[in-house]
Chain A
Amino acid sequence: MAVSRLLLFLWMFVSLHGVAEEQPEARPSPGPKEVNVRDLRVQLRAKGNGRPIVRGEIRYGTKVVYTDPEGVAVIVLDGSARDLEFARFGFEKATITEEEARESPEDLQVYLYPATPSDDEIIVRGRRRFDVSRKRVDAAEARKVAPGGDPAQVVKLLPGVQSELFDPRVVIRGSGPNDSRYYLDNQTVPFVYHRIGGLSVIPDPMLGEVEFYPGGFGPQYGGATGGVVVLRTKTEVPENPMTELRANVPFYSGVYHERPLSPSEGLYVSVRRSYLEFFVAMATRGKTSLSLVPYFGDAHAMYVKKGEEGGYSKFFLIGTVDGLKASTSTDGPGEGGRGTFALDSRYAGVSGEIARPAGAEATVTATPQYVVGREWIDILDDKLHFDTHSVGAPVEWRRRLGKDEFLYLGLEGWYRWVTADLRVPKPNFGDPFFDFEDAPRYDVQRKVTVATAGSWVAGDLRLGDWVMTPGLRASYESQIDRTELDPRLSARWELAPKNLLKASVGQYSQAPEPVEASEEFGNPNLQFERSVHTVVGWERDWNERWTTDLQLYTKRGYRLVRNAGESYLNSGSMRSQGAELFVRRNMTQRLFGWLAYSLSKTELRDSDQDPFRPPSNDQTHVVNLVGSYKISALWEVAARFKYHTGDRYTPIRDAAYNASLDKYQARPLPDDENAERLEDFHEMSIFAAKDFLADTWKLTLRFGIEYLALQRQVQSMQYSYDYSEKEPFRGLPPIPYLEMRGEF
């Protein structure tokens, strides 16, 4: 047995060996190709501005690398994958083959297109100091829906506002344009909209947000019985230099530039100028005897510096000019039968805004400022020239006391001097030889100085679910030598998170204008005009996308200054009440818009003996529906619809030919004042914008149509020379426009 086992073993051994020896000699298996391993330095940039993309992802097979703050990453090409993929949230993915990568230069620049916008991400807005009626719109939101893409004009689309086509000013809850105050940051300015063209005085890239207070505002704002409009400029330091060239046909062109000077300092500059006058001249040449030259322009410079311990400093320069020159045939006294009119309105301002920490949980903000303005009106041979200088410095100290609790103390002082150069008819109706056109003239130059001071205190105090904000403002005006105290109180009650009831009541005072209170032309015994605002409201964030704000208000005005023949008296009064609904679709990358509805009634009277009558701008219903939709990364469309009840006017039912003057004179009946209404007004504007992206610059074409309506809308009623016929004066037909914006 053992032998046989041995033989078997031997046999197996030999056999196996033989098999082994009998296998053909195996060829060595083919190994990997020989690959030139190389490093590839990739920089990811955004298409359209060329800015580096940080934390961009580069995928090569199973390898993933991320770009650094310069947008750079190094990837080793070793042939282990076929493609390279480049991606970053907010951008379209890009892919190139490894072969293409190898053929590229050592430093590969990859530009990613912006991704199709998503409706999922809500753009978060920070909350600031609470105010019952305030509406705040970021410049980015406003740019999407505002007329002409001008964020500051978004105020005209908000509840409580009435605006007219040819008038850049606004009426706020029944209060006239001059009853409201306008601010650029904390700098008081005469106006924020150009008189010509209606454009705001700040270019939109410089604007951060728009704040609008239709009433019920806190004691930090004084000198207004209507509303407050605040245009807030940016306080950020730009990350990258950017230049924008803009041409808006037929209105204006402009240049804008921003750049970081250091990580904590930034500079913004801008210049704009109209060329409307050339288009108007072309349109009217040979067709009318009217020669019209409208023009406007502005320039800005802003320097921002972020503080090391928080806070910031801002230095701001602005200059604006608006003008209109007209020459036409008139029935005036000139033997040439032509008259000239000129309006020149301009101002320049310099301000510093300095915000600094001031102790634990406290900040102080000071805004020293100087504004010089001119308002010149020339009518035939007469003139009204006003030059105004004002210097002042509001300061506010704010201290956090606890959650939602703050204390505010503020102080401001102003010194203003107005130089009036007047040439006006000297009225003397008791003189039988008096002829208005040929009357002796007042030729007078006067200087009026006015010092005003204000101080305020307010606090946000939490009482359980309530936050109360009592406030008190004291105002002094030297020309009338009076002081006024304005108590104000607002409250909000949080029914639930993002669901609150709110209310406010307060008194608001406004000093008479310098001319009204002057010794020579007015009445130095005038008092402050006064207004009492009451607001109740309900504000709710239904979800991340939808917000509503419902407000009811009343406004009572007293001691309003009225022209009483040869002087001024505090004899007027007004009453206004209404309801406002604001439904807002919060901004995502894709969709944004709102519905604003106002229902109101306003009445005025010149004295207690007169009946209340509606003013001409008593628009009972006002609806603004706006929306913007981003179709893709490059295309955006938007629309605005506006409706309001027709304005009122005074019908002329009787007139007479004055044989002594060779003129027809209207004889309106006292009860007919603002008794009739124009047709209801409606119009729509639509526009689309397309971005054309090059590697490091972008061209945006924005084209649209303004004033779309079934027919041209009625702006006013005009009468024939003898008032026997009337016909509506209709506004502009649909006007297409094109704006080209190049961003470098």
Chain B
Amino acid sequence: MYRKAWVCGWVLGGGLMSAACEDSFSRQEVVTKLRGIGVELNPPVSVPSTQDAPMSVRASVVVALPPGLTASLEPYLPGAPVYSLPVLGRPSSDAPVIEDYGALRVIKFAAEIPVPTAESLALSDLRPAGTLRYGFRVTRGDDPEDVEKVEGDVVVAMVGHPSLAWQIPQARLISPEEGEVWDTGSGTIEAEVDERDDGGSRFGWFVDQGKVESRRALSTNLSSLEPGVHTIIFTVRGRQSRAFSYVVRDVVVEE
């Protein structure tokens, strides 16, 4: 059969090919256009709604893009994922929060993700937790062709489930330090994370330029930076809770 051999070949081939490519074609960490970087969820794990107490999760859809650009958000119902209930989010009427950094702009769009009842999610004593799948479409203001579709999961658990105690992981950048200046175009980037759930965390680095040696590593090397101001974003998300947070810092590379 094709299956086993081809899957392994694809894994090897795809992994090797993408790793071998050194330009922006496959460097996910470099932000040169509108990019989703995560969705903050509060609470990270919700209880289901009841007739008397409808529940929702406050979400912040976080995107990064080059400075000076704008974007807008609209929800959509994602395709039916396996074992996950698609829901339509509700964007907030509040204006998005814009954070400007040296080489990147971060925009946070507030929204609500309504949580259905336990019956809708088919929760029970045997299956005390389930997931919702949300989808948001973010469009760049000056280029309607530049669209980022952001999807993700929200965990819903019955009252008393231990996952309800999970917190949003917090990250802190150790390197570069605040105000640090690099005299070459490369240096170590390092973060530390206070993990707040039991499932471990997934890390991710984003930069405006250069090459991150290991995008998923807590400590790695950033290189190929040209002189000037550069922005580094470190993200952390719970593997099981899907909770998300991020930190941003600028670094200056001397001429």
Contact = CB atoms under 8 A, between A and B. Distances in A.
A657 B36 contact: yes
B202 interface: yes
Contacts of B209: none
A657 B15 CA distance: 19
Interface in A622-652: none
Contacts of B4: 384, 513, 515
A338 interface: yes
B78 interface: yes
B87 to A, nearest CB: 14
A292 B16 contact: yes
Contact of B82 (A429, A561, A664): A429
A654 B76 CA distance: 14
Contacts of A337: 213-217, 220
B1 A433 contact: no
Given A563-B3, A657-B151, A336 B217 contact: yes
Interface string B108-129: 0000000000000000000101
B169 interface: no
A722 B149 CA distance: 10
A287 B2 CA distance: 33
Contact of B199 (A328, A331, A435): A435
B62 to A, nearest CB: 8
A709 to B, nearest CB: 20
B79 interface: yes
B242 A660 contact: yes
Contacts of B79: 667
Interface stretch (B17-25, B48-56, B67-75, B90-98): B17-25
Contacts of A334: 216-217
Nearest to A659: B152
A369 to B, nearest CB: 24
Contacts of B15: 326, 328, 330, 339, 341
A727 B25 CA distance: 9
Interface stretch (B99-107, B176-184, B233-241, B247-255): B233-241
Contacts of A167: 9
A336 B214 contact: yes
B8 A343 contact: yes
B214 A660 contact: no
28 contacts: A290-B19, A328-B19, A329-B213, A332-B216, A336-B217, A337-B220, A341-B15, A341-B16, A379-B8, A429-B82, A429-B83, A430-B83, A430-B127, A433-B129, A433-B240, A435-B199, A656-B150, A656-B151, A657-B149, A659-B150, A660-B237, A662-B235, A718-B18, A718-B21, A720-B25, A721-B25, A722-B28, A722-B35
A583 to B, nearest CB: 32
A664 B36 CA distance: 10
Given A329-B215, A337-B216, A729-B17, A656 B38 contact: no
* 9 tightest A-B CB contacts, nearest first: A337-B214, A337-B217, A328-B19, A659-B152, A433-B240, A656-B149, A657-B36, A721-B28, A659-B39
A62 interface: no
A429 B83 CA distance: 6
B1 A718 contact: no
A328 B16 contact: yes
Given A430-B83, A516-B1, A662-B202, A324 B215 contact: no
Interface residues of A, number: 62
A657 B1 contact: no
Interface in B144-195: 148-153, 155-157, 163
Contact of B218 (A335, A563, A655, A727): A335
A725 interface: yes
A691 to B, nearest CB: 40
Contact of B38 (A169, A177, A659): A659
Contact of B12 (A176, A341, A429, A654): A341
Given A516-B1, A561-B1, 20 more contacts: A179-B1, A288-B20, A289-B213, A290-B20, A330-B216, A334-B217, A339-B15, A341-B16, A431-B129, A433-B129, A433-B155, A437-B202, A438-B200, A656-B135, A659-B39, A659-B61, A659-B237, A662-B38, A662-B237, A721-B25
Contacts, number: 155
Given A288-B19, A328-B15, A177 B5 contact: yes
Given A290-B20, A328-B19, A662-B202, A438 B237 contact: no
Interface residues of B, number: 63
A111 to B, nearest CB: 52
Interface of B: 1-5, 8-9, 11-12, 15-22, 25-28, 35-36, 38-39, 61, 78-79, 82-83, 127, 129-131, 135, 148-153, 155-157, 163, 199-200, 202-204, 213-218, 220, 235, 237, 239-240, 242, 244
Contacts of B8: 343, 377, 379, 384
Interface in A340-391: 341, 343, 377, 379, 384
A432 interface: yes
Most buried by A among B11, B130, B152: B152
A510 to B, nearest CB: 10
Contact of B202 (A287, A657, A661, A729): A661
Contacts of B135: 656
Interface in A148-191: 167, 169, 176-179
A725 B16 CA distance: 19
Contacts of B2: 176-178
Contacts of B217: 334-337
Interface string A493-536: 00000000000000000000101100000000000000000000
Interface in A27-58: none
A525 B64 CA distance: 53
B26 to A, nearest CB: 5
Contacts of A659: 36, 38-39, 61, 150-152, 237, 242, 244
Contact of B148 (A331, A377, A657): A657
A718 B18 CA distance: 9
Contacts of A179: 1
B20 to A, nearest CB: 5
B12 A433 contact: no
Contact of B26 (A290, A339, A438, A720): A720
Given A341-B12, A430-B83, A660 B216 contact: no
B16 A290 contact: yes
A631 B5 CA distance: 44
A338 B129 CA distance: 33
Contacts of A654: 149
A176 B2 CA distance: 6
A658 interface: yes
Contact of A660 (B61, B153, B220): B153
Most buried by B among A656, A657, A659: A659
Contact of A326 (B12, B18, B130, B237): B12
A433 B163 contact: yes
A79 B23 CA distance: 84
Contacts of B216: 330-335, 337
A335 B220 CA distance: 10
Contacts of B202: 333, 435, 437, 661-662
Contacts of A176: 1-2
A515 B237 CA distance: 36
B191 to A, nearest CB: 11
Interface in A63-83: none
Nearest to B243: A660
A660 B81 CA distance: 13
A339 B16 CA distance: 10
A582 B152 CA distance: 56
Contacts of B163: 433
A642 B202 CA distance: 47
A712 to B, nearest CB: 15
Contacts of A384: 4, 8
B25 A725 contact: yes
A288 B3 contact: no
A38 to B, nearest CB: 73
Contact of B214 (A177, A329, A437): A329
